[in-house]
A and B are shown apart, each in its own frame.
Chain A
Amino acid sequence: NAGVTQTPKFQVLKTGQSMTLQCAQDMNHEYMSWYRQDPGMGLRLIHYSVGAGITDQGEVPNGYNVSRSTTEDFPLRLLSAAPSQTSVYFCASSRQGRNEQFFGPGTRLTVL
């Protein structure tokens, strides 16, 4: 099993550009989440999904969109990138009823 995969590993955007961060898992997990990690802030939840077709907002959802059309994929869209979105983004998945989360390797995003 590949576990949780994320692409790209690194990305540089200009202010106002849009892009999609990809996340996929092959463990048939129901739950998937997106976090951002900033220095001294720990991880903060952006959006999450409890199953295909069901998404909800986390702690810091503004400026991001998600969709979950399949169990495996959970892309994160930045609509109009801002320097404040410079961060490391992690996707995670977990089985329904279990809190242990499996994390992807992260995407390091810089917005100029």
Chain B
Amino acid sequence: SQQGEEDPQALSIQEGENATMNCSYKTSINNLQWYRQNSGRGLVHLILIRSNEREKHSGRLRVTLDTSKKSSSLLITASRAADTASYFCATAHSGGYQKVTFGTGTKLQVIP
């Protein structure tokens, strides 16, 4: 069953604008990750935030995590056409293997 649900399902913005995607999940997590998938390609890991962290930055990416609301957001600042892709949140739970459960994704289109 899907753990993460992204919102919105699709987002279209102009180059230079900021893009915000949200992820909600159902059960307690060990950490939450965001991945990017360009059309027809495999997923690429972007950033990981642990359950005891509230905010994390990586370049133009900013991730927040609110464990009380079971939600996370990914902000991409000053978007570029090359950011056009699908973005997935993935939650990892306790346990040795820490199975990662992926959400359904947000399709981002950045218009030049």
Interface, chain A (partner B; CB < 8 A): 4, 31, 35, 40-45, 48, 50, 56, 58-59, 90, 92, 99-106
Q: Which of B1-58 contact A (CB under 8 A)?
A: 1-2, 4, 30-31, 33, 40-45, 48
Supplied contacts A90-B42, A90-B43, A101-B45, 4 more A-B pairs, CB within 8 Å = A42-B104, A42-B105, A99-B31, A102-B45
Q: Are B92 and A99 in contact (CB under 8 A)?
A: yes
- Residues of chain B lying within 8 A (CB to CB) of residue A59: 1
Interface residue SS majority, chain A: strand
> What are the interface flags for B74-112 relative to A under an 8 Å C-beta threshold, 1 for contact and 0 otherwise?
000000000000001000100011111111110000000
- Residues of chain A lying within 8 A (CB to CB) of residue B101: 45
A103 to B99, CA, bound (A): 15
Q: Are B42 and A103 in contact (CB under 8 A)?
A: yes
| Nearest CB of B to A107, in Å | 10
- Residues of chain B lying within 8 A (CB to CB) of residue A4: 42
Chain A residue with the shortest CB-CB distance to B32: A99
Q: Are A99 and B98 in contact (CB under 8 A)?
A: yes
| Nearest CB of B to A9, in Å | 10
Chain A residue with the shortest CB-CB distance to B1: A59
A42 to B112, CA, bound (A): 27
Chain A residue with the shortest CB-CB distance to B4: A42
Q: Are A43 and B42 in contact (CB under 8 A)?
A: no
- Residues of chain A lying within 8 A (CB to CB) of residue B4: 42
- Point out the residue from B40, B100, B102 that lies within 8 Å of A99, measured CB to CB: B100
Quick one: given A40-B104, A42-B102, A59-B1, are A99 and B48 in contact (CB under 8 Å)? yes
Q: Are A42 and B98 in contact (CB under 8 A)?
A: no
Q: Are A42 and B103 in contact (CB under 8 A)?
A: yes
- Residues of chain A lying within 8 A (CB to CB) of residue B100: 45, 99, 101
Q: Are B97 and A50 in contact (CB under 8 A)?
A: yes
| Nearest CB of A to B28, in Å | 15
- Residues of chain A lying within 8 A (CB to CB) of residue B96: 50
A15 to B97, CA, bound (A): 34
A15 to B2, CA, bound (A): 28
